[in-house]
Structure 1
Amino acid sequence: MSNELNRIQSGKRMSQVVEVPAERTMLYFAGQIASDRTLDLEGQTRDILDKLDSLLAEAGSDRTKIVSAMIWLSDIRNRHAFNPIWDAWIPEGAAPARACVEARLAEASDLVEIQITAVK
């Protein structure tokens, strides 16, 4: 069996399915929020993505190995501001399965939270 991820119906932003070969090590990440909650949505998003880059590297992985992403926005209308930042962060051909929903986050100052699953 190939050690490569198989992305089905994949676009720039997301894939409908990501198949992971059984021999891959799965990495489950906690939901990440911005370190500086005074930032606007763009600032919080970039801060979270920087954190995810660091955590991926520490775990021996990278953005191309993200299998799925769950994104919670405090206001779903902000997806139009969020999506271009996300799109620029995801490498070409490596779009994960993804959901993006509105949710009441832990603190009123939290505008976005992102949780990913990746492989090593």
Structure 2
Amino acid sequence: MNTVTDLIERFGIGKRGSSAVTHNGTGYFAVTPQAPYDGSLSAADQARQLLDKADLRLAEIGSGKDRLLFVAIILPDMANYGEMNAVWDEWVAGIAPPARACFSGALASPYMKVEMIMVCATN
């Protein structure tokens, strides 16, 4: 008999959390730009770094950007909304984009200009 814990797979288990978790065909993870965070980079450059990491993480858990269900985008400064959107639009070009929300919020590092929380379908 399968239990709920039998259907959970954790990736990159660390002291405080896992880099991703899948459960019953759905994957969950947050992604940030490349650490250590470089505050001299533009929000667009950090978004590119973040989305490159997202592609790798999606592949690691048996998914892809075309299987994204929902993305929450957090920007500490909404003045960066336009440049982040330009990078996002390029990244999702050619696929049916996921549902998405974008909001302003403080991030863990003052050098981080964007963070995303992603939910996707997995194999």
Q: TM-score range by the shorter chain?
A: 0.7 to 0.9
Q: CA RMSD in A?
A: 1.3
Which shows bigger deviation, 52-61 or 33-42? Answer: 33-42
CA distance in 2, matches of 1:92, 1:51: 19
Please, which runs of 5 or more residues in structure 1 have no aligned partner?
A: 1-23
Where do residues 1-120 of structure 1 align in structure 2 (5 Å cutoff)?
A: 25-29=25-29, 31-36=30-35, 37-38=37-38, 39-120=41-122
> Is contact 1:66–1:94 with CA below 8 Å preserved after alignment?
no
Question: Deviations 1:23-52 (Å, cap 9, x if unpaired)?
Answer: x711111x2111142122111101100000
Secondary structure, counterpart of 2:45 in structure 1: helix
Q: TM-score, normalised by structure 1?
A: 0.75
CA distance in 2, matches of 1:85, 1:112: 12
Question: Deviations 1:54-98 (Å, cap 9, x if unpaired)?
Answer: 011111111100000000001012111110110110143421110
Structure 1 residue ranges (4+ consecutive) displaced by more than 4 angstroms after TM superposition: none
Aligned length: 96
Higher relative CO (CA 8 A, sep ≥ 6), structure 1 or 2?
A: 1
